[in-house]
Amino acid sequence: MSTLVSATPEQEARRRKSVIWVVSIATVGLVFDGYDLVVYGTVVSTFLRDPSQIGPVTPAVAGALGSYALVGVLVGALLAGSVGDILGRRKVMLVAYAWFSIGMAVTALMSSATPFGLMRFITGLGVGALVATTGAIVSEFAPPGKKNLCNAITYSGVPLGSLLAALLAILLLAGIGWRGMFWIGALPIVTLLPLAFFKMPESPTWLAARGRIDEARAVSERTGVPLAEVPPVGEASARRERVGFAGLFGQEYWLPTVLLGLMSATGLVLVYSLNTWLPELMLRAGFNAKGSLSFLLVLNGGAVVGALIGSRVADRLGPKPVVAACFLIGSAAIALLTASLPLALLLLFVAIAGLGTSGTQTLIYGFVANYYRTTVRGAGVAWCAGFGRLGGVGGPVIGGLLIAAGLSTNSIFYVLAGLSVLGVLLTLLVPRARGPRDLHPTAIEPSRTATSVTSEPGTPRSSR
């Protein structure tokens, strides 16, 4: 049991404002993040059918080009995990906004497949750094009992960005071409980056965990977020020795780390297989170009709505059973896409498949961000985003190879449904989190703010 000193209404108001700013900026960042990664799926049919754009592109080459960005995400996420736990979340996020914006702008200037693929990789480095860092900072600002919800809102930015890419492709692709679509992805450098520079604070929890107590106290006072207690000297030294990936693969966490990484990889195979190839599969099923892009719109719309609903349940029951259930629901929905259904029902099952793929991946990020303690949280989210990108890399490639091998659309959907069942099994094997996820919070100025004393269990319900 730990003792908490309640905050004044003024502090609570500052905290609400800070949480709103952090979650809003982080969400918009991931909207562009999701846009940048999925915009390729909206233009791949153009590349396959028009060699004047970046040269001849076969299905296998298209799958490889789709994977280059995800290889970059893998590398960027793993690098950012250690850097974020050592240098801070805020610095990594600001650099990531600038990096992937410039990368998208340069990609729009490419005229052949090789430099296009290289720039997709370079852009992916910034995308990976952002995905890996966002969950950690949001989790550290989110109030108890709403951590899964805040992470779900934030990571819903990824499918929202995917939805935005599909919608803009329907409305604008014919007029602005694929280059215009990529220029849109460069907008954060003149919009989001300046806003984040002034409004995104560093996490006081992270500052306190790194021993920067004066800075943590100042940020806590400014934002209203409770300052973490300073652990005893011996404990602080031990935790510094286990910071980042060193702690992630220690005795306490190595098994769940492996399982969570495999869960994320499985989820991202599904996410990027569908986001890259669903428009092409629907074209082959007889829908026109705009109709096939509409399925991508519905897929990501279902992911957003499903993740928000699932996160509320996860804050009450814990994320593990909710993630397993969403994987299972997604498997059933993908399998049902093979049936001869009226259009309305087909769209409904595509939306449910969005819940079971991109929506489930959103819940996985929340699960991971609240599973680990503060000093390894950034590395944990980075591992989930980075190692998981092996699945993201494989998704477009697998889809391209299955199409190139001549498999029917129905057979491809059955393969994806089977992968979703694998996700269920991996989720059920993850052991329950043990011990506190954060250092115990206290009010920063007890002499002014103490009005009552309450007790709180050491292990929050949301960490299950």
Q: For residue range 20-34, what is the model confidence (pLDDT) as tens digits?
A: 999 999 999 999 888
**pLDDT on residue 464:** 42
CB 259 within 8 A of CB 27: no
**pLDDT on residue 314:** 86
3-class DSSP assignment, residue 196 = helix
Question: What's the pLDDT tens digit per position in 130-179?
Answer: 887 888 888 888 887 788 788 888 888 887 887 788 789 888 988 999 99
pLDDT at 116 over 90: yes
Question: What's the pLDDT tens digit per position in 249-274?
Answer: 777 788 888 999 999 999 988 888 88
Element (H, E) at 84: helix 59-87
d(CA 255, CA 249) in angstroms, rounded, equals 8
pLDDT at 435 over 70: no
Of 127-131, 241-245, 405-409, 422-426, minimum mean pLDDT range: 241-245
Mean pLDDT of 394-416: 84
Q: Which sign, positive or negative, has the C-alpha torsion 273, 274, 276, 280?
A: positive
- Work out the percent of the chain whose per-residue pLDDT is above 70: 86
Alpha helices of 337-455 — where are they, by DSSP H? 343-354, 360-369, 374-387, 389-404, 409-429, 446-449
Question: What's the pLDDT tens digit per position in 50-69?
Answer: 888 888 888 888 878 877 88
Each domain of the chain, given as residue ranges in start order, spans: 2-463
d(CA 84, CA 90) in angstroms, rounded, equals 8
**pLDDT on residue 266:** 92
Question: What's the pLDDT tens digit per position in 374-390?
Answer: 777 777 887 887 787 78
**pLDDT on residue 40:** 87
Query: Within 13 A of 43's CA, how many CA atoms are on the CB side?
Result: 26
Could you tell me how far CA 407 lies from the centroid of its own chain?
31
Reported confidence tier of residue 422, pLDDT bands at 50, 70, 90: very high
Give residues with Cβ within 8 angstroms of 353, minimum separation 6. Answer: 274, 299, 302, 330, 333, 334, 337
Tally: H helices and E strands in the chain = 20, 4
**pLDDT on residue 239:** 43
* Phi, psi for residue 2 in degrees, rounded to 5: -130, 150
Nearest of 119, 159, 156 to residue 135 by alpha carbon: 156
**Is the whole model's pTM more than 0.85, yes or no?**
no
Return the CATH fold of 2-463.
Answer: Growth Hormone; Chain: A; (1.20.1250)
